[in-house]
Chains A and B, each alone.
Chain A
Amino acid sequence: MTEQEKKTTLDEMFGEFAELVLENVTIELDELKIALRPMIQQVAAQVAKPALSLPKSLIPAKFEPPFGDYSTKIHEVTIGATKGEGGTRSNSVTIGGHEAPAWDLFQSPPKHPPIIAADVFDMKISLAKAVKTHYKEVMEDPAEWAKLCVNKFGADVITLHLISTDRQLKDTSPNEAAKTIEEVLQAVKVPLLIGSAGDPEKDGPVLVKAAEVCEGERTLLCSATVDVYEPIAEAAKKHDQVVLSWTSLDINQQKELNRRLIDWLRPEQIVIDPTTAALGYGLEYAFTMMQRMRLAGLLGDSELQYPISSGTTNAWAAREAWLKDESLGPRELRGPIWESVTALALLLAGNDLFMMMHPAAIKTVHDLIDWMKERKPVKADDYPDWTAMALPEGV
């Protein structure tokens, strides 16, 4: 457009902008055009930009998908072993293997979708009421408990927490704990994860025994920590098990522990857990730790190229999840939504293995993984016009 054309157009278009430019001036437009013609040119020149460029049609812009460049992959770790693989499980599960940041579907969908482990304890423990309701029948029987989780709640794998081995609780011996493990192995055919009690004296011997009785099953031993790792790593090496490398919200400590474990283990034998804090009570630390670990792993940091695990049941540490307080709404909903949202945030941060408890939260996270794992082309018409929908009010 030439300078001359611009001016002609402006003159015509001025009407559109009269209100804008000459607020508080009450002169009819026609009058204005005649009386103030020289001024119009001047005023118009000032608003030249917006007025001028009122486009006649859409101005195309191309959107380039913002691909990143990732040099390395997250290791694949397989838990559980079928008959053919030397164990007795009906299936094994593989996690990790990712080539891009979590859920950047345009770059790469998750290599293996995350999985959910249901927590089973080897003795009766105190649980929030909303959780207990679902387990009260089986709380004295870990084998039945495990069956319930698999058959009714759809858990992919089971974590058996041997908390009774704690010296402060029942001080169960490693041999007795081994019996419970065998019962649970009999009761369910999904892969099994073994958790220790968090007793620095007992964790080593208990997990060493677990590694032994699970020979061939490729179980995940939870956990090796900076304080107790040698015996666990050694037993995992000897019996070909996988180790959960657990630290407390400290990325350098996580690297350090992984560096030590690798003296015994192959990369396919390590899963990492930076500690999960509940929604509202430090979730952001876990979230950011996981995001950083995943990115570092993709960008070549060999000490962080491992799939990630979360003790998502920690969500129940938030009082808002279980407080009996009518003003906060029904706790039957509040609790499981708390566990679900905690899981969802960590899912998006890149977590691979969720240890969970509430059946509704387990189902929700399964659904989310299913919904999120691929892009489905949607027609513009399939997006509802929410601005004009009649909605139920006050419910």
Chain B
Amino acid sequence: MAKLAGPLEIYPLLPGTNCKVCGEANCMAFATKMAEYTVKLRDCTPLYEEEQYAKKRVKLEELIRPPVREVTFGTGEKAVSIGGKLVLYRHDLRYTNPTAFFIDISDALDADAFAKRVRDIEEWTYVYIGQNLRLDGIALRGVSKDPQTFAKAAKKLVELTDWPIMLCSLDPKMLSAAANAIADKKPLLYAATLDTWSEVGEIAAKHGLPLVAYVPGNLNDLASLANTLQAMGIHDIVLDPGTLSRSGLGTTIDCFTQLRRAATVKDNDVIGYPLLSTPISVWADYREGEAPELTKWDEVLTAASMIVRYSDIVVLHSLDMWTNLPLTFLRSNLYTDPVKPVAVEPGLVKFGDATSDSPVMYTTNFALTYFTVESDIKQGNVDTWLLVVDTEGMSVQSAVAGRKLTADKVAEAIQEYDVEEKVNHRILISPGMAARISGETEESSGWTVKVGPRDSSGIPKYLQEKKWQEE
């Protein structure tokens, strides 16, 4: 892995006044956190405001620049940053800037369909352990092949949405027209190729816009193109080595892997840029009259491969729940900080105004299990006690199998967290997945055990219908 700067390299370049403006106790503390990238250099405001530190600042910025540069586009709150990657494997530190999902829109759509598509993209959402999963931006495609139509569609788009935009065409005239129209929204330009780099490079330089360099299947040429754009003074570059599905998937994964590995492990600066993939390309194989589900299936597989293999932004056509749900889940999973604890604190948790008559459920202290159960209890809106048993951070199913969740542990937890003082009754609702140990649990705790739903999505109904009180 490329060597990231250590605190001792960072410290001498900080002001050294220990002024605490950054919120840290002193400059050394800040340097330590900077080395782990858990603070931003900008938080040390003296570095930016005082002329005397200008030189140090420039050196520091260079020192801490991630091996994969960060590229930001769009404006305002919705602006999206991609890249900024520090490591090859998430366990080496963590992945930053989750893969951005851009959904295409054609400039050839009629006004109503165009507006509806924008709305559908903006409204796609799903609640997943307390957070709203969403898409990130809109990729306007120049299907019309007419610069004026393309520019008009771009204008229309910024009227309809404040989401980040990618302008997509391989024709420089198209890009020039649309960039002129909406440059102030800082769109990402797609793309400069081996044939068009000088024209497209100029458009990007003129408007100060980030630019995708696209060379399919040839990493030498792609490096040369990036090198050339860089020499033109363009620093916000995104690389697209081409995306193929099916029998081309091996080649595609290999190209992305080589690029990211070279940037992070071998410090190859020329290609140290975010990577873009286009699972939307699978639609080239779609034939009219075919069931679109098959093509969508391929798009999901291609996108999932690219999310795992280092794509910082993906362009998709499908907008279904069943296609984008697994993809947004995959992104959330891989971009979770790997040092984030697997476990929550064991104990007794009170929901609503739980009283001595309220039901008592138990679950394990695996964070995901806990948060899922928590959100289901809240959804049920019934006052409830939840006993969180220490299973060393394992889910119910694995904990039962691995003997981390046993009758004795449940009985101990009842004692330890004084559950018998909190409620009058002695009925414990067990997770459905722990049905196996319910008999033993009755013996060791003296409580009556009712087996609850197998999946916690059944909890709201179970509680609302007071099933635990049934004989």
Residues of B within 8 A of A376 (CB): 247-248, 250-251
- The residue in chain A whose Cβ has the minimal distance to the Cβ of B145 is A388
Task: For chain A, residues 103 to 129, give those with C-beta under 8 angstroms from any C-beta of chain B.
Answer: 103-106, 126
Q: What distance in Å separates the Cβ of B101 from its nearest Cβ neighbour in chain A?
A: 15
Q: Does A378 contact B (CB under 8 A)?
A: yes
Contact between chains at B329 and A375 (CB < 8 Å): no
Contact of B333 among A19, A55, A284, A329 (CB under 8 A): A284
- Render B109-140 as a binary contact track against A, CB cut-off 8 A, 1 for contact: 10001001100000000001000000000000
Q: Does B326 contact A (CB under 8 A)?
A: yes
* Chain B: interface size category: 35 or more
Contact between chains at A371 and B250 (CB < 8 Å): yes
- The residue in chain B whose Cβ has the minimal distance to the Cβ of A319 is B457
- The residue in chain A whose Cβ has the minimal distance to the Cβ of B218 is A380
Contact between chains at A391 and B317 (CB < 8 Å): yes
Contact of B251 among A126, A168, A378 (CB under 8 A): A378
Contact between chains at B91 and A317 (CB < 8 Å): no
| Docked pose: A388 CA to B257 CA in angstroms | 27
| Docked pose: A337 CA to B326 CA in angstroms | 8
Residues of A within 8 A of B297 (CB): 333, 337, 364
Residues of A within 8 A of B147 (CB): none
Number of A-B contacts defined by CB within 8 Å: 291
Q: Does B161 contact A (CB under 8 A)?
A: no
Stretch in A181-189, A273-281, A299-307 with 4+ CB within 8 Å of B: A273-281
- Render B209-230 as a binary contact track against A, CB cut-off 8 A, 1 for contact: 0000001111110111111100
Contact between chains at B308 and A364 (CB < 8 Å): no
- Render A29-72 as a binary contact track against B, CB cut-off 8 A, 1 for contact: 00000000000000000000111011100111111111010000
Interface of B: prevailing SS: helix
Q: Does A372 contact B (CB under 8 A)?
A: yes
Stretch in B19-27, B52-60, B285-293, B345-353 with 4+ CB within 8 Å of A: B285-293
Stretch in B71-79, B400-408, B412-420, B422-430 with 4+ CB within 8 Å of A: B400-408
- Render B43-57 as a binary contact track against A, CB cut-off 8 A, 1 for contact: 000000000000000
**Chain A interfacial residues counted at CB < 8 A:** 96
Residues of B within 8 A of A58 (CB): 194, 197, 224-225, 228
Residues of B within 8 A of A (CB): 89-91, 104, 106, 108-109, 113, 116-117, 128, 141-143, 145, 168-170, 190-191, 194, 197-198, 202, 205-206, 208, 215-220, 222-228, 231-233, 242-251, 253-254, 257-258, 261-262, 265-266, 268, 270-271, 278, 280-281, 283-284, 286, 288, 292-293, 297, 300-301, 304-305, 308-309, 315, 317, 320-323, 325-327, 329-330, 332-334, 336, 338, 342, 366, 368, 372, 394-395, 397-404, 435-436, 454-457
- 9 pairs, CB–CB < 8 Å, chain A vs chain B: A51-B233, A54-B232, A280-B329, A329-B322, A334-B321, A344-B301, A378-B216, A378-B248, A380-B217
